Structure 1
Amino acid sequence: MMVREWILLNESHLESRLHMSTLTHRMLLHTHIIYEKVYPR
């Protein structure tokens, strides 16, 4: 199972988190990225 979350941190930053689980592993944070707004400022 995979769950992706998108969270708006403020007007110029967006956070993405990917959680994954398998038959042998519980739900764990796999990837965590913070995007910064580039254009338009």
Structure 2
Amino acid sequence: ISASDNRRIIYDIREYSKLLDSSNMTMDDWIQIANDIK
């Protein structure tokens, strides 16, 4: 993508109420992240 394409990338930033550590996450935590990425 070059600057002349006039395209923009839009980000949607999500924050979780509790800090998630991948080594200590439950299946529900993983499902929540997967659903947010969809």
Instruction: Compute the TM-score of the two structures, normalised by the length of structure 2.
Output: 0.29
TM-score, with length taken from structure 1: 0.28
Higher helix share: 2
Return the structure number with greater strand share: 1
* Structure showing greater Rg: 2
